[in-house]
Amino acid sequence: MLFLFAVLGCLVASSVRDVTAGRAFTERDLTRHIFADYEKVVRPVSHPENTITVAASISPISIRELDPKSQVLVMDTFMKMKWNDDFLKWDPTEFNNISVLQLPNSLVWKPDLSVYTATPDDALFPTSNTNVLVYSDGTVLWVPFYTIKSRCPLLKRQEKNYFECVIKIGSWTYSGKLLNPQLYTPEVDISDFDDSNPDWKLVSVKSDRQSKFYPCCPGEDYPVLHFNVTLKRRWPSMSIHNEI
């Protein structure tokens, strides 16, 4: 009997020790810990007046199509977004030095950044199922592949054989006080661009951020990111203006 108590005592002691020290915490334990009380449908801020800043940008991959007649540009891109989630933080020293988790994007809150200039028949938001990276300081990085189909009204000042398309990106529902989009970097990253479209050559992609105010909500800023894509016809033929 005494022997049995001794064994039980050892078992209890060792399982307590497992939880409190020395145990190899896994990604599974960490995920259960951070998602135990997580709510993904609302902004992950610890105070309602906090702003979520989202660093965002698009990196062009290829020009699929530009139809000057219908004035629609179809471009493959990576859309890069980074923000901080107050509720996805942990101390790596408590979790075996795990400092990053790769998780399905459907598990976490995501900013509703959309392409305002998207054609109505097309996805306003990226739909690809790529994982997010979640870092222990709450940083979330999401880089979905996104084929943007954008309306490009021909600009009056358009030069012959050039086409400029302004892709506008901003939150669909949040004002700048709640969700503040910023350019990820001052320069657009075109290092992954495949310049193989037979008709159009990419000349430049320039970006900036502007404030937009709507009559409904005076004083409420809805910031917009612009990505101005300039393309040049490879085989100068007729003027774009003549075709339309």
Q: Which residues bind ligand NAG (CB under 6 A)?
A: 96-97, 166, 206-208, 226, 228
- Of 166 and 231, the one with the shorter C-beta distance to ligand NAG is 166
DSSP-assigned beta bridge partners for residue 225: 169, 209
Residue from 98, 107, 103 nearest 27 by CA = 98
Strands 162-171 and 132-135: unpaired
Pair 136, 99: CB distance under 8 Å = yes
CB of 137 to ligand NAG, least distance (A): 16
Q: How far is the CB of 58 from ligand NAG (least distance, A)?
A: 14
- Please report, for residues 25, 71, 119, the alpha-carbon distance to residue 56 in angstroms, rounded to integers and kept in the order given: 33, 25, 21
CA distances from 9 to 13, 69, 101, 204, 209 (A): 6, 81, 36, 72, 65
Residue 45: CB minimum distance to ligand NAG, A: 30
Q: How many CB atoms lie within 10 A of CB 60?
A: 22
| Closest CB to ligand NAG among residues 109, 163 | 163
Q: Which is nearer to ligand NAG, 56 or 108 (CB)?
A: 56
40 or 212, CB closer to ligand NAG?
Answer: 212
Contact 234, 207 (CB under 8 A): no
The count of other CB atoms within 10 Å of the CB of residue 52 is 19
- Residue 150 CB, nearest distance to ligand NAG (Å)? 13
Q: HSE of 223 in the Cβ direction (CA atoms, 13 Å)? A: 18
Decide whether 192 or 208 has the Cβ nearer to ligand NAG: 208
Question: 87 or 221: whose CB is closer to ligand NAG?
Answer: 221
The distance of closest approach from Cβ of residue 165 to ligand NAG in the complex, given in angstroms and rounded to an integer, is 9
- Residue 88 · residue 30 · CB < 8 Å: no
Shortest approach of ligand NAG to residue 24 CB, angstroms?
A: 8
Residue 61 contacts residue 189 (beta carbons within 8 Å):
no
